[in-house]
């Protein structure tokens, strides 16, 4: 996918070091007002270890995409088959801190939505911290609605106090045959 210097490609194992660096930078700039530093470190270790990402790259039900802006890694997303059946969960969506608000997140969400439709999924789902006001705003702008509020125990005494947001993907009207 290309548009004005933007390319979206599948992430590869060779991208992992740059991806982890971008995730760490984004998390430490964005999350200190939302969760503790100890929780940031715990969640980064849990979600962004080389082993975890490599296993996901080999998993047919998990997808990782990178967004390049003028050839540089600027944003990324990870999404996976989820419950109930027909659901694709957007598990990670991050744009470089200095590049937020320029449409990169929305571009990735549109790309994921198109992929979801092509693969036959009926809805997108995601979880977002209740205090992550900017991300909730961006998701609402992109058609997601809060479906429920839930606290998830993630171990070591930490919890994620989240909204679950859903975007239903009704079938698009078929073009008329001529």
Ligand X SMILES: CC(C)(COP(=O)(O)OP(=O)(O)OC[C@H]1O[C@@H](n2cnc3c(N)ncnc32)[C@H](O)[C@@H]1OP(=O)(O)O)[C@@H](O)C(=O)NCCC(=O)NCCS
Binding site for ligand X (CB under 6 A): 26, 30, 93-95, 100-106, 128, 132-135, 137-138, 141
CA–CA dist 27, 44 (Å, integer): 8
Q: Nearest distance from residue 129's CB to ligand X, in Å?
A: 7
- Report how far residue 22's alpha carbon sits from residue 83's, in angstroms, rounded to the nearest whole number: 29
In the bound complex, what is the minimum distance in angstroms from residue 106's beta carbon to ligand X? 3
Question: Kind and range of the H or E element at 168?
Answer: strand 158-168
Nearer to ligand X, 165 or 169 (CB): 165
Which residue is closest to ligand X by CB? 105
Cα within 13 Å of Cα(35), Cβ side: 22
- Pick the closer one to ligand X by CB: 4 or 176: 4
- State the nearest-atom distance from the C-beta of 124 to ligand X, in Å: 13
CB of 132 to ligand X, least distance (A): 5
Start-to-end C-alpha separation, the chain: 29
């Amino acid at each position: 996918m290309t548009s004005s210097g933007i390319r979206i490609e599948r992430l590869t194992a060779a991208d992992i070091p740059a991806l982890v660096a971008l995730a760490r930078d984004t998390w430490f700039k964005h999350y200190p007002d939302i969760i503790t530093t100890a929780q940031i470190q715990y969640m980064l270790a849990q979600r962004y270890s080389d082993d975890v990402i490599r296993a996901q790259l080999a998993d047919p039900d998990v997808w990782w995409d990178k967004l390049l802006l003028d050839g540089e890694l600027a944003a990324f997303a990870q999404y996976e088959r989820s419950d109930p059946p027909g659901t694709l969960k957007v598990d990670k969506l991050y744009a470089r801190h200095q590049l937020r608000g320029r449409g990169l997140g929305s571009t990735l969400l549109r790309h994921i939505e198109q992929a979801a439709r092509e693969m036959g999924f009926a809805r997108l789902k995601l979880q977002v911290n209740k205090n992550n006001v900017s991300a909730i705003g961006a998701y609402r702008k992109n058609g997601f609605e809060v479906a429920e509020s839930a606290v998830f125990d993630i171990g070591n005494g930490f919890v994620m106090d989240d909204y679950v947001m859903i975007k239903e993907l009704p079938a698009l009207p078929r073009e008329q045959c001529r």
